Amino acid sequence: MDMSQPPGEAHRPDADGRAAIEISRVSKQFHDGEGGVVEAIRSTSLDIAEGDFVAIVGPSGCGKSTLLNMLGGFDSPSSGQILVDGKAIAGPDIQRGMVFQDYALFPWLSVLDNVTFGLKKSHSRSEARDEAMKWLELVGLKDFARKQPKHLSGGMKQRVAIARTFATDPRVILMDEPFGALDALTRRFLQQQLLKIWREHRKTVVFITHSVQEAVYLANRVVIMTARPGRIKLDEKIELAHPRKVTDPAFRDTEARIFEALDEELAKTFSLETSDGHAD
């Protein structure tokens, strides 16, 4: 763990790692509806190399999802800039795929049609179907291709969402607590599926989570954000070999270090919520 970087900034990637994402002194403010302004993120900088799996953790309300929405092009910074492959984000783009916590599937479409939806402009009908079926097989849902989402469990719906996102072959995958609402067994299965896909296809992944254990289990970097206004507090490189076991002493030591870094920020969050009534 490195504590030498200035507040709000994380280390640049190594010299041989090309930055796929450059977040430069980004701040974000919102109007609170009562004539005031809430500062969600303050002067935050973070570079992410191509192929990195970066998990972002922090206390409730620290701006994790706000940062991800700006990376996805669904919102824009109040100041600073975000570059992907050297270009400023101008809005949502197929090269930045988003996996939401609530699946965001079209309920009237079949599983297959949900996955082919983003492929129609770039693939023929048969090509789109073949690509979609390939990804449905990878996530274990090939036999459910003709079903509608209402017939699927929460874990199965999330697998469809993952297949749909990866099928479009984006450069960057953005995931906003995608497994947060799932039971422990389903969550672990999907974590393993995600790691398998990431190792095989080596996409750049930015993963938001409230779970320190999940962050250490999945990522090769864990970024810790401060209490609101969110900044980068620490950037921890995770050098544990895969497959990782949560019972291994090295895993537990890493998890404990991150929890220790979060303790002060959690205390600040509770103090903020008590003083101004704002919460996540």
Each residue's pLDDT tens digit, 222-280:
999 999 999 999 999 999 999 999 999 999 999 999 999 898 888 877 665 555 555 45
Instruction: Provide the 3-class DSSP secondary structure of residue 175.
Output: strand
Q: What are phi and psi of 81, to 5 degrees?
A: -145, 155
Quick check: is 216 in a domain?
Answer: no
Please name the amino acid found at residue 169. D
- Look up residue 153 and give its two tokens: 């469990």
Quick check: is 114 in a domain?
Answer: yes
Quick check: is 153 in a domain?
Answer: yes
Q: How many domains would you assign to the chain?
A: 1
- Look up residue 151 and give its two tokens: 């017939």
Mind listing the pLDDT tens digit for each residue in 55-83? 999 998 899 999 999 999 999 999 999 99
Longest distance between any two alpha carbons in the chain, whole Å: 58
Domain assignment of residue 120, given as a range: 107-168
Q: Produce one character per residue of 207-235: b if its CB has 16 or more CB atoms within 10 Å, e if not.
A: bbbeebebbbbbbbbbbbbbbbbbbbbbb
Under a CB-based contact definition with an 8 Å cutoff, are residues 117 and 106 in contact? yes
Quick check: is 203 in a domain?
Answer: no
**What gap in Å lies between CA 74 and CA 93, rounded to an integer?**
10
Alpha helices in 34-147 (DSSP H): 64-72, 111-116, 125-138
Q: What is the pTM of this model?
A: 0.87
Quick check: is 72 in a domain?
Answer: no
